[in-house]
Structure 1
Amino acid sequence: MLEEKLREAIVGELERQAADRPQALKVQGARDANRSEELTVNGRIDLAALVMVIAGSVAGGP
């Protein structure tokens, strides 16, 4: 359960960042991430935003 929530939070945040900055970040395999153990990410990631989403997921946030 926790792993699933973390996976969803990470993939969701990476997709959000890629949508906001498509020229700077590309995410492939996100739709299959729940069934696969692999995700291809190419570009710059806002690590602070990603950490906040992960922390919120662990703490039981939305």
Structure 2
Amino acid sequence: MLEEKLTEAIVEELKRQAANRPQLLKVERADDAKDTEELIVNGQIDLAALVMVIAGSVAGGP
């Protein structure tokens, strides 16, 4: 359960970053399937924002 929540939080944050900066980041899931464990990421990631999302997810945040 925790792993699924963390995976979802990470993927959603990376997609949010890609939507805000499409020229710098591209994120895809293999066949766009939610149950796959593979993610294709190409570009620059705002690591501080990603860490905050992960910490919030672990702490029970939104």
TM-score between the two structures when normalised by the length of structure 1: 0.93
Give % identity: 77
Aligned to 2:55: 55
What residue in structure 2 maps to residue 27 of structure 1?
27
Q: SS at the partner of 1:42? A: strand
Match of 1:14 in 2: 14
Runs of 4+ in 1 over 3 A off after TM superposition: none
CA RMSD of superposed structures (Å): 1.1
Structure 1, unmatched stretches of 5+, are: none
TM-score (norm 2): 0.93
- Number of aligned residue pairs: 61
